[in-house]
Structure 1
Amino acid sequence: MSHSIGDRIERREPLFGWFLLATLLPILVMPFTNLEGNAIQRVLLPLSTLWLVVLALRMMPADLLRWRGWSFTALYRVLGVLCVAVMWLPFVLGHHAGHAWHLPILSVISGFYLSTTVGIVLVLAQVKRVNEAVLCLGAAGYIQLGLTGGQLATALEILSPGSFSLGRMLPGEELVERLSYFSFVTLGSLGYGDVLPATALAESFAVLLSVTATLYITLMIGLLLSRYIETR
């Protein structure tokens, strides 16, 4: 079964580079999005998310997401479809969506991003060789972790306003954009100090995010290095 999964993953390797681009695209388009702007400004993020979800669903082997005999492939696909659907709500409603929609949207998106990161680790554990495509997938998993952190930090700020000291937000900058920036700064251990956790819960979240990033890098290096040694 493991060998069969490895063969199917190898056939999907041409998608890995495109998937890395798809994970970068939401970050690149965020500065140009505006929920109260024109149609192009509102459609950029939903379209980039659609491309990311489609590639993620195509890349993940059907029976890879299993735990103790239970398959979560169908749940993952449903989560992907919901992720695309909820991303279009801000495009349609803008800032008039209301706070009632914010948490369900953030929960679905962060759930899909986190599931994709776990799936990437499982794929890396099954790859038969280390090449440029596999390295692209490893980098994409790190970016997925940063996107997940941004969504979760935004949900925390909505649930408990004042959890983060946001500093001076730029005109038109969305909360999720600001806290996605905080997430990647935390992952990179940069700590500029312009966005800070302001409560004990937010501090715990920042620590957890930083530790998770370190564990991901350690795990990725271990997996890829062991596979490289095996192939040599």
Structure 2
Amino acid sequence: MPPPLNPLAATPAAVWRRITQQQVTDRSLTVLTLLLLAEIVLMPPLVEIGWVGRHVADIVFVAGLSVGVWILADETLPGRLFIGTAAVTAGLRLANVWLPDADVRQADASFAAINLGVLGWLTLAYTLAPGRINVHRVLGAVAAFLLIGLMFAQLHRLVAMNTEHAYLLLGQPADYSTIVTKLGYYSFVTLTSLGYGDITPLHPVARALAMLEALIGVLYPVALLGWLVSVMTLQKK
């Protein structure tokens, strides 16, 4: 995030650089939102259908993390934490191309959950930074919402790999290999409170995660997205 600018000591050139940098930062929030939508909506069905290999999806995920580092990493503590966790997550995903999934999946899910959570934190920090609320910043809040869904997908993945039959699939207990490709879908169904009922949490930890995610999914759009849109509307008057 750009450091604070003293308007009394700043030169016109410094002010112009600050304005330009802020415009780039705002637009980068839109880019991040589009990348997340591609990761959430496009890649999972392509992998399940078999048109794209799982390792290709992992490489796309790493590429998305790299873009996130380039866009949002800064010298703050969250920025440095994001860079560190992104490096570990990317390394684990790339190692998974050559190593059996069972050898790295525990660490992969743990670091991915942390990394996505920190990225959501950074995204909100940029979205709520001083400056005018515009469409890019509203999309930044949407990006943070999508990151919450992705983070919970990794948390559900941790529960599924450590607790046998923690979830039911179509009313039947499902093991990790059966449920893992569907946990992203399940996370967003829970976050948006759709509740189709095809996947249901059975273990108490899985149910607790589902309740927490559903509460965030209900409160977030009302509390933050609604406020941002109202502020943007008032600015135009």
TM-score by length of 2: 0.79
1:76-107 deviation line (CA, Å, top 9, x unaligned): 101111121111233223xx332x42210001
The answer as to whether partners of 2:134 and 2:232 remain within 8 angstroms in 1 is: no
Q: CA deviation at 1:110?
A: 1.0
Return the alpha-carbon distance in structure 2 between the equivalents of residues 159 and 74 of structure 1. Answer: 30
1:8-64 deviation line (CA, Å, top 9, x unaligned): 443322322221121122221122337xx79x513321232123212211222514x
Does the alignment pair 1:196 with 2:200? yes
- After TM superposition, the structure 1 = structure 2 runs for residues 41-80 of structure 1, keeping only pairs within 5 Å, are 41-60=53-72, 62-63=74-75, 65=76, 71-80=77-86
- After TM superposition, the structure 1 = structure 2 runs for residues 42-191 of structure 1, keeping only pairs within 5 Å, are 42-60=54-72, 62-63=74-75, 65=76, 71-93=77-99, 96-98=100-102, 100-167=103-170, 175-191=179-195
Does the alignment pair 1:226 with 2:231? yes
Report the counterpart of residue 30 of structure 1 in structure 2: 44
Q: CA deviation at 1:223?
A: 4.2
Letter in 1 for 2:141: G
**1:220 and 1:76, CA in 2 relative to 1: closer, same or farther beyond 3 A?**
same
Return the alpha-carbon distance in structure 2 between the equivalents of residues 175 and 3 of structure 1. Answer: 50
Aligned partner of residue 70 in structure 2, secondary structure: helix
Report the counterpart of residue 68 of structure 1 in structure 2: none
Structure 2, unmatched stretches of 5+, are 7-17
Aligned partner of residue 196 in structure 1, secondary structure: strand
- Between 1:205-214 and 1:83-92, the stretch displaced more is 83-92
Aligned partner of residue 196 in structure 2, secondary structure: coil
Letter in 2 for 1:118: W
**1:9 and 1:145, CA in 2 relative to 1: closer, same or farther beyond 3 A?**
farther
Query: Share of identical aligned residues, percent?
Result: 19
**1:174 and 1:58, CA in 2 relative to 1: closer, same or farther beyond 3 A?**
farther
Q: CA deviation at 1:118?
A: 1.3
Structure 1, unmatched stretches of 5+, are 66-70
Return the alpha-carbon distance in structure 2 between the equivalents of residues 105 and 51 of structure 1. Answer: 16
The answer as to whether partners of 1:9 and 1:61 remain within 8 angstroms in 2 is: no
Report the counterpart of residue 19 of structure 1 in structure 2: 32
Q: CA RMSD in A?
A: 2.7
Return the alpha-carbon distance in structure 2 between the equivalents of residues 177 and 16 of structure 1. Answer: 27
**1:110 and 1:61, CA in 2 relative to 1: closer, same or farther beyond 3 A?**
closer
TM-score by length of 1: 0.80
**1:92 and 1:210, CA in 2 relative to 1: closer, same or farther beyond 3 A?**
same
Q: Which has more radius of gyration?
A: 2
- Between 1:151-160 and 1:46-55, the stretch displaced more is 46-55
Of structures 1 and 2, the one scoring higher in RCO (CA 8 A, sep 6+) is 1
